[in-house]
Structure 1
Amino acid sequence: MDEYLRGSCLCGGIRYRAALPASHASHCYCTMCQKQHGAAAGSYANLASAGFVVEQGAALVTEYASSTHGRRGFCRVCGSTLFWRSEESPDRIAITLGTMEPEYAGAVEKEWYPENKPAWLPRR
């Protein structure tokens, strides 16, 4: 079994790896994630930031300070959202599940801000 999660942006300009284990995967329904992803939620795997390496295209990674403590990383060419990190927890990084190759095989264990789930999202 691979010791890393791997992925890339839509245009392929950025390739990354993130060392396992993931502490959890989550869907975040906060309005910032919804706007960043253009979707109902941002979906992430939470890992140690020390194990996150941009293997290709580091110059294409752009970060946006979306709050006083949060930074969102994305590709400046294609706009793919790659990660979210908190300056309050610099030892952790949340990598977007949709950019992983192969797809993330773990379970999504947490939902953040479920009260913000859009009405158009299917209910269980």
Structure 2
Amino acid sequence: MSQILKGGCYCGGTTYTIAIPDKLPQVVGTPHKVPTSILDHCGKCRKTSGSLFQAWIVVPKPWITITYKYKEGSGGKLVEFQSSAHGTRSFCGACGTNLFYDSSKKKAMVEDMDGVVYLVNVTIGSLDEESLTHVELVKPKLHVWWDHGIGWIKEAFTTAGQGFGGLAKYPTGDVRQSPEELI
């Protein structure tokens, strides 16, 4: 029996499932098991995501099944962009949702899998809400490209017990209330 994570793009034209075995396999030669969830601070991920860092869940490519549900003429399916000599980013061709990062350099031996497999980064934010409740699988466990991160973001991650905790917390996108009214 395996756990299934589900996700997809904003418009629903591209959906995917990730089938994760009950016993999480080790990536040979590393201290990590897959899936591994990470926060990526590299400049390319920052630019392509439009965010200050990118949250990924890293899984073997054979675990991913992609389904397309595009209407005729929607310009759908995945659009690939080669962002480096070794890396390809995949976005929904209709709504533009950032979904995957695949690198020809990111291959490994994974316990209980035959031969070398490619490891694919899947955007955690594209997971369905129900899949995000699998905290043990999707909660980031490490930062990568830390030296490339934005100073004040890194400071927020390293300020013991504070982080972004001091920011006003609006229950919706309506910010007309004063922060004092939220208490």
Q: What range describes the TM-score normalised by the shorter chain of this pair?
A: 0.7 to 0.9
RMSD in angstroms over aligned alpha carbons? 2.0
Find 2:93's aligned residue among 76, 79, 94: 76
Moved over 6 A (4+): none
Structure 1, unaligned runs of 5 or more: none
TM-score, structure 2 as length reference: 0.61
Q: CA deviation at 1:54?
A: 0.7
In structure 1, what is the equivalent of residue 168 of structure 2? none
Higher relative contact order (CA 8 A, sep 6+): 1
Q: CA deviation at 1:56?
A: 2.4
Decide which structure has greater helix share.
Answer: 2
Q: What is the distance in 1 between the residues matched to 2:148 and 2:127?
A: 25
- The CA deviation string for residues 20-72 of structure 1, in whole angstroms up to 9 with x for no partner, is 15431001110000001101111111111011111224851111111111111
Supply the AA of the counterpart residue of 2:50.
G
SS at match of 1:78: coil
Residues 1:100 and 2:127 aligned together: yes
> Across the two proteins, how many residue pairs are aligned to each other?
124
In structure 2, what is the equivalent of residue 116 of structure 1? 148
Q: What is the distance in 2 between the residues matched to 1:69 and 1:61?
A: 18
Q: What's the % identity of the aligned pairs?
A: 23
SS at match of 1:10: coil
Residues 1:39 and 2:58 aligned together: no
